[in-house]
Amino acid sequence: MNRPVILIVDDSPENLMVLGELLRDAYQVRAANSGATALRLAALTPRPDLILLDVLMPGMDGYEVLGRLQADPATRGIPVIFVTALGATEDEEHGLQLGAVDYITKPLRPAIVQARVHTHLALKQARDRLAAHNADLEAEVLRRMGENVLIQEVSILALAHLAEIRDPETGNHLLRTQEYVRTLALQLRGHPRFEAFLTPHTIDVLAKSAPLHDIGKVGIPDHILLKPGKLTPPEWEVMKTHARLGALAIEQAEREAARPVEFLTLAKEIAHHHHERWDGSGYPDGLSGDAIPVSARLMALADVFDALISRRVYKEPFPPEQARAMIAAERGRHFDPDVVEAFLATFERFCEIAVRYADSQEALDAKQRSLPPLGA
Residues 354 and 271 in one domain: yes
Whether 312 is covered by a domain: the verdict is yes
Whether 161 is covered by a domain: the verdict is no
pLDDT at site 376: 43
Q: pLDDT tens for residues 33-82? A: 999 999 999 999 999 999 999 988 998 999 999 999 999 999 998 999 99
**d(C-alpha 267, C-alpha 262), whole Å:** 9
Residues 193 and 93 in one domain: no
**d(C-alpha 238, C-alpha 236), whole Å:** 5
- Number of Cβ atoms within 10 Å of the Cβ of 57: 22
CATH number of the domain encompassing residue 255? 1.10.3210.10
Whether 147 is covered by a domain: the verdict is no
Residues 246 and 358 in one domain: yes
Contact 332, 297 (CB under 8 A): no
Whether 141 is covered by a domain: the verdict is no
Whether 363 is covered by a domain: the verdict is yes
pLDDT at site 169: 56
Whether 188 is covered by a domain: the verdict is yes
pLDDT at site 149: 61
pLDDT at site 226: 80
DSSP string, 271-323: HHHTT--TTS--SSS---GGGS-HHHHHHHHHHHHHHHHS-BTTBPPPPHHHH
**d(C-alpha 282, C-alpha 273), whole Å:** 9
Helix (H, G, I), strand (E, B) or coil at 190: coil
pLDDT at site 95: 79
Residues 22 and 63 in one domain: yes
Which residue among 136, 153, 181 closes a domain?
136
Residues 363 and 224 in one domain: yes
pLDDT at site 366: 54
pLDDT at site 192: 96
Q: pLDDT tens for residues 229-270? A: 788 999 999 999 999 999 998 888 778 766 677 778 899 999
Whether 89 is covered by a domain: the verdict is yes
Residues 116 and 201 in one domain: no
Instruction: Specify the number of domains making up the chain.
Output: 2
Residues 102 and 193 in one domain: no
Which residue among 136, 154, 188 closes a domain?
136
Residues 124 and 176 in one domain: no
Residue-range definition of the domain harbouring residue 241: 166-370
pLDDT at site 139: 81
Residues 207 and 107 in one domain: no
Distances (CA, A) of 214 to 49, 184, 228: 62, 19, 18
pLDDT at site 225: 84
Which parts of the chain have pLDDT scores under 70? 1, 87-88, 146-171, 257-259, 313-314, 360-376
Contact 83, 108 (CB under 8 A): yes
**d(C-alpha 171, C-alpha 184), whole Å:** 21
pLDDT at site 168: 54
CATH number of the domain encompassing residue 37? 3.40.50.2300
The amino acid present at 76, given as its one-letter code, is R
Residues 277 and 217 in one domain: yes
Whether 157 is covered by a domain: the verdict is no
Residues 170 and 110 in one domain: no
Tell me the pTM.
0.60
